Amino acid sequence: MLSHKALILSPKIAECQHLASFLKEKAFESHFALDDLDAMCQIKETGYDLIVCDRNCDQLLIEDIKKHAPKSHLLLLDMLSRSHENSLSEACQQIVSQRDDLIAKSPIMQKLLADALKIANSHANVFISGESGTGKEVIAKFIHDHSPRSKHPFIKVNCTALPETLIEAEFFGHEKGAFTGAIKRHIGRFERADLGSLLLDEITEVPLSLQAKLLRAVQEGEFERLGGMNPINVNVRLISTSNRNMEEAMEKGLFRKDLYYRLNVVPLHLPPLRERKEDIIPLAEHFLTRACTKNHKGAKSLSKAAKERLISYDFPGNIRELSNIIEHAVVLDRGPIIQAEDLPIKQRVKHYLPQMAHSMTLEELERWFIEKTLKECKHNKTHTAKALGIHVRTLRNKLMRYEAQDRDR
């Protein structure tokens, strides 16, 4: 299914058809306008994500387009031709990212989203790997929304949240009386996802005892409800995710190789946030706007120092951690501009122990570490306290004690 709409303004049908063919690969449905009047009629009737026209077109037309379609991405090109495919690709990527709540400024994420769009047009099972908090579920939903199955259900199963005793019934359903407490028939997630997509989030948490039955459902598209005798056939696209090393999980016998190969038809690896630094500030600003709206706060912005601190941080919790950091700063509501010290980030300062560490007392070693951290933080006591994980008042007391010790010597 084509999820975005584009209007191409050109009197040359061949040019329109070429651009339409190119845009179709980017999940855009193209409409043509052969003159200015036709273009404005269509713009007023239809909400277009992208409007493409010649840079030399009438300035009044451009002003009318901006007036009647302020949210549309207007792309002006010199003589519509094949040579503008890069410009079109960038525009499409920007539209897709904004509309689908995805930020992809970094080259690595732009390539991943381009691959995801290609994958979406198929019916192949997808396996998304990546650390916790990188947005694997968001990418899974992106693939479903841009696929031929988008009008059908997108069903999620959080495999870590289901107890082992219930996970089979959640997957495949159960008949009334199948076990104690089964007071009525229950339709499982596989059945509910028929013709659509089923997200198996953190698939490696599925117990080994259930993986054989899951394999049969994947291979044959067939299963029985618990307590049932009749096979149920479904047509489901499986999108699985995991934050584990799958090779290691299979070597340890925690996950069946034959099941993994069935699920991993098309692999996608989602990079951690520390490997896509270009996305940090755009993501932070996106979360900032969202958090201000959610918490009924006025508009806020990030100071230069706050941006620098975000970029220099490794984000072990990835995008989820970034979102929480920004919302924390918004809730504190210390002003319209968020400063570096408003961000609940502990600076990770790398130290090497002094050569005489083996002969130092614990108190001497602590003093050395605190003074080293203070220097690394450019003598900013607030930043130093956060880096050390102590209250700033505690830091001040320790520094005052060190000064007193020096005076007494």
Task: State residue 357's pLDDT score.
Answer: 61
For Cα atoms 86, 87, 88, give the angle at the middle one, nearest 5 degrees. 90
Count of CA atoms in the C-beta half-sphere (13 A) of 356: 6
**Which CATH number applies to 357-408: 3.40.50.2000, 3.30.1490.100, 1.10.10.10, 1.10.10.60?**
1.10.10.60
> Which CATH number does 107-269 carry?
3.40.50.300
Q: What local confidence, expressed as pLDDT, does residue 100 receive? A: 47
Pairwise CA distance, residues 67 & 74, whole Å: 12
Torsion angle defined by CA atoms of residues 302, 308, 310 and 316, in that order, rounded to the nearest 10 degrees = 180
| Strand (E) or helix (H) holding 288 | helix 280-294
What single-letter amino acid sits at 176? Answer: K
Q: Which CATH architecture has domain 275-342?
A: Orthogonal Bundle (1.10)
- 8 Å CB contact between 57 and 39: no
Rounded CA separation 320/135 (Å): 8
Query: In this structure, which amino acid lies at residue 100?
Result: D
> What is the Cα–Cα distance from 319 to 273, expressed in whole angstroms?
7
Residue 356: per-residue pLDDT = 60
Using CA atoms, how far residue 345 sits from 275, 289, 309, 377, 392, in Å, is: 18, 20, 8, 13, 14
Rounded CA-CA distance 23/91 in Å is 10
pLDDT of residue 360: 74
Domain ranges for the chain: 4-99, 107-269, 275-342, 357-408
Q: For the chain, give the longest Cα–Cα distance.
A: 90
Ranges of residues in the chain with a pLDDT under 70 are 1-3, 79-84, 93-101, 346-359
pLDDT, tens digit, 9 for 90 and up, residues 140-195 = 999 998 888 988 999 999 998 888 778 899 999 999 988 888 889 999 999 999 99
**Residues with Cβ within 8 Å of residue 4, at least 6 apart in sequence:** 26, 27, 28, 29, 49, 50, 92, 95, 96, 99
What Å distances lie between residue 236 and 194, 314, 352, 398, CA to CA?
A: 5, 37, 54, 62
| Cβ burial, residue 78 (10 Å; 0-12/13-18/19+) | exposed
Using CA atoms, how far residue 344 sits from 194, 339, 383, in Å, is 44, 11, 10
* Number of Cβ atoms within 10 Å of the Cβ of 363: 10
CA pseudo-torsion sign 278, 131, 287, 378: negative
Q: How far apart are CA 281 and CA 287, in angstroms?
A: 10
CA distances from 322 to 102, 166, 272, 281 (A): 14, 33, 12, 10
Structure tokens at 371: 């003074």
Q: Which two tokens stand for residue 395?
A: 């830091």
pLDDT at position 329: 93
- Identify the H or E element spanning 249: helix 246-251
* Gap between the Cα atoms of 265 and 127, Å rounded: 7
Quick check: 311 and 280 in contact, CB under 8 A?
A: yes
242 alpha carbon, distance to own chain's centre: 14
Domain 4-99 has CATH 3.40.50.2300: yes
Whether 107-269 shares its CATH topology with 357-408 is answered no
Q: How many angstroms separate the CA atoms of 221 and 236, rounded?
A: 8
Phi, psi of 157 (to 5 degrees): -130, 115
Helix residue ranges per DSSP H, 50-127:
59-68, 85-99, 107-120
148 vs 159: CA distance, rounded Å: 26
